[in-house]
Chain A
Amino acid sequence: MSVGSTTGTMPLLALQGVSKQFGSAQGWLERGAARLGWLPPAGSVQAVDQVDLAIMPGEVVGLVGESGCGKSTLGRIAVGLTPPSAGERRWCGEAIDRLPASERRRLQLGIQMIFQDPYASLNPRLTVGELIAEAPRVHGLIGRREQGEFVARSLQGVGLDATMASRYPHQFSGGQRARIGIARALAVRPAFLVCDEAVAALDVSVQAQVLNLFADLREQLGLTYLFISHDLAVVRHLADRVAVMYLGRVVEMARVGELFGRPAHPYTQALLAEAPTLKVGKRQFIPIQGELPSPLAPPSGCHFHPRCPHAMPVCSKQAPALREVAPGHDSACHLTSG
């Protein structure tokens, strides 16, 4: 179990044994053709595989891992946008998805997500001011007279000029649109926020400003985060704990200092070794050696074994369980499970 549960207080959000499998969502024509052998069947993906994750109030949990390993899917499960194929989501200890619809909608307002793809998530026909004020108005958080002031403050908080409120999403640059998505998620004063690559599109000075805003909100309002990012420096800066995913499974979880200082899982070690720095200067990049593992047909046993420098015979046969290797530090690896 994760460290959170040992501190005695109740996790704000807990995912218990959640899995998500995507079937082949082909049209009937393709399905028919596949059945007749004209097309190879599109496989199903185990995007998330029995993940336990408990997030304490006020905590920032970082989520890292290779592209396609299931981070966004896990984030969408956490906010209730994707129903898990198995497992349960608990909000303050309650099985929120089994509550009556009205009760659920009320709680759901406190759970927001900043999407990886800001383009698709902003209605092109609304001005930015309308986009930001819409939900807080509907839910009675602000009145009509406060709207202008509220929008101006929201925009400034994410480093945008208040005069931009009357423009439409397509008139903004990529990073400006990403910040509109952030302002919009924050507008309903959530208690829990999933940030999916929320600062990936921002240049470093604006990124620093938004990261400082996240830190302030956490300090002042106790905002809790699941922070998905491929940027290890950002995660290291912001997170208290970090979960590392590999092909659908959480393979390591620890406090941030512990994870970056003493990574236990060979995948985490490889990940940290490759983190780029400013100092290296011009260099020749090396292509990945050997086959990349496919999420459609993940390797047997420990999914990482074909790329692991320490792989042993057992690694291809049996999936290692997530076990505590030091207080509050879990790793799923046969090297440390003996």
Chain B
Amino acid sequence: MNSVHNAAQAVLEVTGLSVGFAQRGTVLRAVDDISLHIAPGEVLGLVGESGSGKSMTAYSLLGLVEPPGQVSADTFRLCGKEMRAADERAWRQLRGRRIAMIFQDPMMTLNPVLRIDTQMVEAIHAHRRVGRGAALEMAAAALQRVGIADAPARLHAYPHQLSGGMRQRVAIAIALLNAPDLIVADEPTTALDVTIQAQILAEMQALCQASGTALLWITHDLAVVAALADRVCVMYAGRIVEQGPVDQVLAQPAHPYTRGLLDSTPAAAPSQHADNAGATRRLSTIPGLPPALGERPEGCAFRPRCARASAACLQVPALVAVSPGHEVRCFHPLARVSA
């Protein structure tokens, strides 16, 4: 949408970002030298293999990586501030108000022993001086926006009294409370049905358009990425292997891994079996296993699973453009789209 903003205005500008875990004398890189920029109002989708480092990337963007994890970056600017040497105090000034995170697991946001109203009022009071009554009203309105019916009554519930999807939505509502500059959402709608998901995506879009909130949306749901994001980054084994405008990447994937992802989607599989129930139907999968951290192969990490691999792939491929804005990290990309 507004991807024309230049880098100076970017909400987030990070290059050479790595997250490492020291282990037996070596440093294992869960996130390995990635660069990201997001403009105000822009939606960046981040997809990739389970364990490829998406959540670690998200944590590092909010200063939430805990030891023994170590974060390093060449440049790291967030909301106009230099964050490379930021201490916990600097992070706390941004978190919650200017940047917010929706965790993959809602119980990382929610405290199991406190009622929802207590937690939401606390989140509001952390950044605003309003009375308790006004705060409760804001909390109820936020719950309604994420499709929770009977919000005033649900405010009295403890987390365990809500369904899994409701807990997820409460966590989303808390992130929306202060209309931050950047929301990092880690698989926020994984367990939500299509109606509620559409409601939340509508709220997110409205927020991006009205307040210029930028969104980093981590998901494995390619249909959501297709409908919501402006650009998409595909991660594999800690690196970005492909990035570009969503329609291009999904319609003309250049990296063999992206192609494999698209082929594994059950909706895309030709399984219009009318009533052959009981027969074993198999989905197309990418052969082999994703490499464990520490077992990652040399060169292109996708090599052992890739049908196009050659001896050249023993080196690490660089991220190169196949068309303007569409980049791929592969020696034998599937598409040489001309500009």
Decide: A204 and B156 in contact? CB cutoff 8 A. Answer: no
Residues of A within 8 Å of B278, CB to CB, are 58, 240
Task: Give CA–CA (A236, B166) in the complex, Å.
Answer: 24
Chain A contacts for B163, CB-based, 8 A = 67-68, 72
| Interface check A308, CB cutoff 8 A | no
- Among B148, B194, B290, the residue within 8 A (CB) of A232 is B194
A163 at interface, CB cutoff 8 A: yes
Q: A237-B281, A291-B149 are in contact. Are A230 and B51 (CB under 8 A)?
A: no
What's the nearest-Cβ distance from chain B to residue A209, in Å?
5
A241 to B199, CA, bound (A): 28
B123 CB–A CB distance under 8 Å: no
Chain A binder among B75-83, B261-269, B324-332: B261-269
Residues of B within 8 A of A205 (CB): 49, 260-261, 264, 285-286
CA distance in complex: A295, B151 (Å): 11
A285 to B158, CA, bound (A): 30
Q: Whose C-beta in chain B lies nearest to the C-beta of A211? A: B283
B153 touches A119 (CB 8 A): no
A280 to B49, CA, bound (A): 23
When the two chains form the complex, which single residue of A120, A212, A271 contacts B195, counting CB atoms closer than 8 Å?
Answer: A271
**Nearest chain B CB to A320's CB is how many angstroms away?**
21
Contacts of A176 in B (CB 8 A): 50-51
On chain A, the residues within 8 Å of B246 by CB distance are 282
Q: Does A286 contact B (CB under 8 A)?
A: yes
Residues of B near A156 (CB, < 8 A) are 289
Instruction: Let me know if B169 and A203 touch, CB within 8 A.
Output: no
In the complex, chain B residues whose CB is within 8 Å of the CB of A293? 149
- Whether the pair B223, A277 counts as a contact (CB closer than 8 A) is yes
A261 to B202, CA, bound (A): 29
**Can you list, as one digit per residue, whether each of A52-80 has a CB less than 8 Å from chain B (1) or not (0)?**
00000010000011111000100000000
Asked if A117 lies at the interface with its beta carbon under 8 angstroms from chain B, I say yes
Contact yes or no, A216 B220, CB < 8 A: no
Complex contact A255–B275 (CB within 8 A): yes
- Decide if B198 touches A274 in the complex (CB within 8 Å): yes
Q: Of residues 227 to 274 in B, which have CB atoms within 8 Å of A's CB atoms?
A: 227-230, 246-247, 250, 260-262, 264-269, 271, 273-274
Q: Is A208 positioned at the interface, with any CB of B under 8 Å from its CB?
A: yes
The docked-state distance in angstroms from the alpha carbon of A230 to that of B266 is 14
Query: Once the chains bind, are B165 and A218 in contact (CB under 8 Å)?
Result: no
A276 to B158, CA, bound (A): 32
Q: Is the CB of A97 closer than 8 A to any CB of chain B?
A: no
A232 to B220, CA, bound (A): 15
Contact partner of A42 (CB less than 8 A), chosen from B157, B274, B275, B286, is: B157
Q: How far is the CA of A176 from the CA of B291 in the complex (A)?
A: 12
In the complex, whether A175 has a CB less than 8 A from a CB of chain B is yes
Interface residues in A295-315 by Cβ distance below 8 A to B read 295-297
A219 adjacent to chain B (CB < 8 Å): yes
B222 at the interface (CB under 8 A from A): yes
B62 at the interface (CB under 8 A from A): no
Residues 66-87 of B, flagged 1 when their CB comes within 8 A of A and 0 if not, give 0000000000000000000000
**Known contacts A39-B156, A261-B274; is-contact A282 B280 (Cβ 8 Å):** no
Interface window among B11-19, B126-134, B184-192: B184-192
22 A–B contacts, CB within 8 A, in A order: A40-B152, A66-B195, A66-B196, A68-B165, A116-B191, A161-B295, A175-B50, A197-B190, A203-B261, A205-B285, A208-B266, A209-B285, A230-B193, A270-B195, A276-B227, A278-B223, A278-B262, A279-B226, A288-B195, A288-B199, A292-B147, A296-B153
Top 5 closest pairs, chain A to chain B, by CB: A175-B50, A67-B165, A161-B292, A203-B220, A240-B277
| B residues with CB within 8 A of A | 47-51, 54-55, 104-105, 107, 147-150, 152-154, 156-158, 161-166, 169, 186-187, 190-199, 201-203, 205-206, 220-224, 226-230, 246-247, 250, 260-262, 264-269, 271, 273-278, 280-286, 289-292, 294-295
Known contacts A161-B292, A173-B55; can you find 9 more A-B pairs with CB under 8 A? Answer: A26-B156, A42-B153, A66-B193, A174-B50, A179-B50, A205-B285, A286-B198, A293-B149, A294-B150
